[in-house]
């Protein structure tokens, strides 16, 4: 039987190496690619053939949830398993809305990690028990027809990218360079973000990015 091919997206080298050792200790699991940023993960899914993308949330340049959204927009069949150090409701709700196949807390034991990867690769969903309980509460907040009663303000994919880079402390010029767009375009997106979110400064944008799970505080 062919091993399950995994694309591993994690920016902390110690964690990356630990995950690699845990996964490759299993005979039926194989790492076929490693990405240290969310943007790199998006790009690699276009060239690396994997069965499962194991994605950390707290990724620089492009967080794991937005990277997952972009990947699934291009390839809805992609199987993405999210890793998070926190059981933040905002992260879990966004993950569900995006359509990831699973969500694990990083404190999960090694045998559960392998079980989750196998389940996701087989077309099933897999969530840490504590996450599953939160999902149950979340589903109760969904109204008739599947509409969330208190849906958050919708931002475009590019606005999400700009918002994260601003929250990470990048100036307009740096953001423009990172995204390959003009400074004027960055300024336009920045103003659009402020209008949509009803905030008036960088601090307000950063607070929103933290509260909505786009970046992690600390």
> pLDDT tens digits, residue range 134-171?
777 766 665 434 444 444 567 888 998 999 999 989 99
**What whole-number percentage of the chain has pLDDT above 70?**
90
Distance (Å, rounded) from C-alpha 6 to C-alpha 48? 10
pLDDT at residue 163, rounded to an integer: 93
Longest dimension (CA), the chain: 57
The predicted pLDDT at position 217 comes to 65
Domain 4-143: give its CATH architecture: 3-Layer(aba) Sandwich (3.40)
Q: Domain segments of the chain: what residues?
A: 4-143, 157-211
Residue pLDDT, tens place only, 21-32: 999 999 999 999
Per-residue pLDDT, 135: 77
Report which of 128, 133, 106 is spatially closest to residue 116, judged by C-alpha positions: 128
Tell me: pLDDT of 175 over 90. yes
On whether the 157-211 domain is CATH 3.40.50.150, my answer is: no
State the average pLDDT over residues 125-132: 87
The conformation of residue 84, written as its DSSP 8-state character, comes to: E
| Count of residues in the chain | 218
H or E stretch at 186:
helix 183-197
The whole-number pLDDT of residue 151 equals 47
User: How far out from the chain centre does Cα 16 lie?
Assistant: 16
**DSSP E strand stretches across 91-186:** 102-105, 126-127
Q: How far is CA 30 from CA 117, 118, 181, in A?
A: 11, 12, 37
Quick one: average pLDDT of 66-77?
93
- Residue 151's Cβ-count burial label (10 Å; 0-12, 13-18, 19+) is exposed
């Amino acid at each position: 039987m062919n091993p399950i091919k995994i694309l591993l997206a994690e920016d902390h080298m110690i964690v990356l190496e630990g995950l690699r050792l845990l996964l490759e200790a299993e005979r039926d699991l194989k790492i076929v690619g490693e990405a240290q940023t969310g943007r790199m993960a998006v790009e690699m899914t276009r060239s690396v053939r994997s069965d499962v993308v194991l994605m950390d949330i707290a990724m620089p340049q492009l967080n794991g949830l937005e990277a997952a959204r972009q990947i699934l927009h291009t390839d809805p069949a992609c199987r993405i398993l999210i890793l998070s150090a926190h059981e933040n409701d905002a992260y879990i709700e966004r993950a569900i809305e995006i359509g990831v196949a699973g969500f694990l807390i990083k404190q999960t034991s090694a045998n559960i990690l392998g079980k989750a990867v196998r389940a996701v690769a087989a077309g099933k969903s897999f969530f840490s028990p504590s996450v599953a309980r939160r999902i149950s509460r979340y589903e109760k907040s969904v109204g008739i027809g599947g509409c969330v009663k208190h849906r958050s303000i919708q931002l475009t994919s590019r606005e999400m990218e700009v918002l994260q880079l601003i929250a990470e402390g990048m100036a307009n010029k740096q953001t423009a360079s990172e995204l390959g767009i003009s400074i004027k375009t960055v300024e336009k997106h920045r103003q659009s973000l402020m209008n949509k979110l009803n905030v008036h400064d960088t601090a307000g944008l950063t607070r929103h990015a933290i509260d909505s799970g786009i970046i992690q505080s600390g």
